[in-house]
Amino acid sequence: MPAGSAAAALVVVALLASGGPEPLLRLQDPALLESSGLAASARHDDVLWTHADGGEVAQVRAVDGRGRTVATVTLAGIDPYDPEAMAPGVDDSGVPALFLADIGDNLAVRPDVSVYRLQEPRRLRDQKVVATWYRFTYPDGPHDAEALLVHPRTGRLLIATKGIGEGGLYRAPRKLVRREQGTNRLERVSGVPPFVTDGAYLPDGRFVLRTYGSVHLYDRPGHQVASARLPAQPQGESLAVRDGALLVGSEGERSAVYEVPVPGQPTATPDASDRTGTGRAAAAADEEGWLQAALVARALAIVVVLGALVALLRRNRRRR
């Protein structure tokens, strides 16, 4: 790269990387280059569970407080399509469990999507486990989705789709049937903001949905009560709840996990008119952030191309 374009590139990178809070941890495992889901352990202090996007085997990984992988758990006999999310919950016996959501569908062609439930291991070691497999269909055709939520008291599942415009929030039946028994039909219950990449329930039954640049708090489906911006991340796709705070992660090499407060706390909850304005402001900020990122990337590409052309012209002149 010519010196001028290299300098311009460094300036752009510095601007993008400057500012922001300190990360809670950075993922160390190269296998988590595309970390897509996040869940706080119910059995092990200071441990998070995450997983890679895609792959030929279904796996979840336990990460300690320094970002090191301390256990890899493989789900036996499952060749996933596109795992995109995970959530904590319990199994039929009330034992802590993890739900891995194989719900990605970029081309919107899948006739059904899957969720795998496994008991959270008591011991943190590499192992293979048998998971319970559930299939789901949407009532209005295929959708791409990256957010799974499991209610802390009822265990009922929600899936939020990732729309370029408004997405949808879909609720699973109260009683699920396993894959060998049939397919569970989802019910649309509300709309959600564009580009939802993950979500999680709070212990009190409220829930949060994140996009690439912001997080939105709901006290029930379709009723948003607060929103907030998130730290800048390369591709923010994960969210978990732990000790009354939110943990947000991203794809990328040595990607950072940040701890942020739940929106609207500890400040007073705004009235209904303020809530609508806050939600619109956060959505607008999301769109603005993505437009800025796209413009920066395009400007950088133009600088690099122009620099290469200038260098080529100079080289040709020297040859003459």
Dump the DSSP string for 82-142.
---EEEEEE-TTS-EEEEEEE---TTS--S-EEEEEEEPPSS-S-EEE--EEEEEE-TTS-
Interhelix angle 3-17/272-319, nearest 10 degrees: 170
Q: Which domain does 46 fall in, by range?
A: 23-271
With 0-12 / 13-18 / 19 or more C-beta atoms within 10 angstroms meaning exposed / middle / buried, residue 203 is exposed
What pLDDT shows up at residue 293?
45
Residue keyed to tokens 């402001």: 281
Domain count of the fold of the chain? 1
Reported confidence tier of residue 122, pLDDT bands at 50, 70, 90: very high
Phi/psi for 115 (5° steps) reads -130, 130
Sign of CA dihedral 111, 112, 113, 114: negative
- If one compares 32 and 8, the residue with the highest pLDDT of the two is 32
Contacts of 81 (CB under 8 A, 6+ apart): 102, 104, 105, 110, 113, 114
Rounded Cα distance between 245 and 261, Å, is: 5
Q: Assess contact for 86 and 148: CB atoms under 8 A.
A: yes
Q: Assess contact for 108 and 142: CB atoms under 8 A.
A: yes
| Tokens representing residue 303 in the block | 């600088």
What pLDDT shows up at residue 21?
87
What pLDDT shows up at residue 272?
38
The mean predicted confidence, pLDDT, of the chain is 85
What pLDDT shows up at residue 265?
79
Reported confidence tier of residue 307, pLDDT bands at 50, 70, 90: low
Rounded Cα distance between 249 and 231, Å, is: 10
The mean per-residue pLDDT over the stretch 216-224 comes to 98
Rounded Cα distance between 215 and 161, Å, is: 15
Which amino acid is located at 219 in the chain?
Answer: D
Q: Is residue 17's pLDDT more than 60?
A: no
Reported confidence tier of residue 189, pLDDT bands at 50, 70, 90: very high
Find the helix or strand (DSSP H, E) in which 294 lies.
helix 272-319
Rounded Cα distance between 276 and 223, Å, is: 9
Q: Assess contact for 150 and 201: CB atoms under 8 A.
A: yes
14: in domain: no
| Tokens representing residue 144 in the block | 């791409």
What are the CA-CA distances from residue 225 to residues 193, 208, 222, 276, 280 (Å)? 13, 10, 10, 8, 12
Rounded Cα distance between 73 and 283, Å, is: 37
Rounded Cα distance between 213 and 236, Å, is: 7
- Tens of pLDDT, residue by residue over 20-47, are 789 999 999 999 999 999 999 999 999 9
285: in domain: no
pTM: 0.80
156: in domain: yes
Q: Is residue 295's pLDDT more than 90?
A: no
Q: Is residue 218's pLDDT more than 60?
A: yes
Rounded Cα distance between 35 and 13, Å, is: 22
Contacts of 29 (CB under 8 A, 6+ apart): 61, 63, 68, 69
Q: Is residue 268's pLDDT more than 50?
A: no
169: in domain: yes
218: in domain: yes
131: in domain: yes
- Tens of pLDDT, residue by residue over 239-266, are 999 999 999 999 999 999 999 999 997 6
Reported confidence tier of residue 306, pLDDT bands at 50, 70, 90: low
46: in domain: yes
Question: Could you tell me the CATH number of the domain that includes residue 233?
Answer: 2.115.10.20
73: in domain: yes
